[in-house]
Amino acid sequence: MRVIYRMRIYRAVPENLEAFHAFFREHLLPVQQRHGARLVGRWETEDGRVVAVWEYDDQEALERISAAVSRDPDAARAQRHRAKLGPLFSEREEVLMRATV
C-alpha cells in the first residue's frame, strides 16, 4: 500500500467565499467521506485561494472512491444546488502527491 494525497487548489470568488465553504461542508464533504475519502485539511490562503488535501490508501482507492462519488445521487443533487449559487471559484488545479519521508 502506498498512500497518495490529492491536493486541490481553487481561486475563490471573493464575494462567494462563505457560500463556497458552506457548500463544501454541507454538500461535498459528507459524500466524499461516505465513500472513504479522508480529508487531511482545507485551508484559505491570504491571497484568496482555497486548498484541500485528501488522503487515499493508494491510487486504486482514489479511483474507486472517485467513481463511487460520481455515481452518488447526493453528488448530483449537490451540483444542481451549486448551479444556483453563482461562481464559487474561477480556477482549479489538482496535484497528486506521495510522501517522501
pLDDT one-digit tens code per residue, 63-92: 999 999 999 999 999 999 999 999 999 999
- Residue 101 has what pLDDT? 80
Predicted structure pTM score: 0.90
Taken as a whole, the chain contains a residue count of 101
DSSP conformation letters of 5-52: EEEEEEEE-GGGHHHHHHHIIIIIHHHHHHTT-EEEEEEE-TTSEEEE
Q: Which CATH architecture has domain 4-97?
A: 2-Layer Sandwich (3.30)
Domain boundaries, the chain: 4-97
- Residue 55 has what pLDDT? 97
Whether residue 28 is predicted with pLDDT greater than 90 in this model: the reply is yes
Distance between CA atoms of 39 and 92, rounded to whole angstroms?
Answer: 17
Q: Which value, to the nearest 10 degrees, does the dihedral of the CA atoms of residues 9, 60, 63, 11 take?
A: 0
Mean pLDDT of 43-66: 96
Q: Residue 23's pLDDT band (boundaries 50, 70, 90)?
A: very high
> What cell was used for 30?
459528507
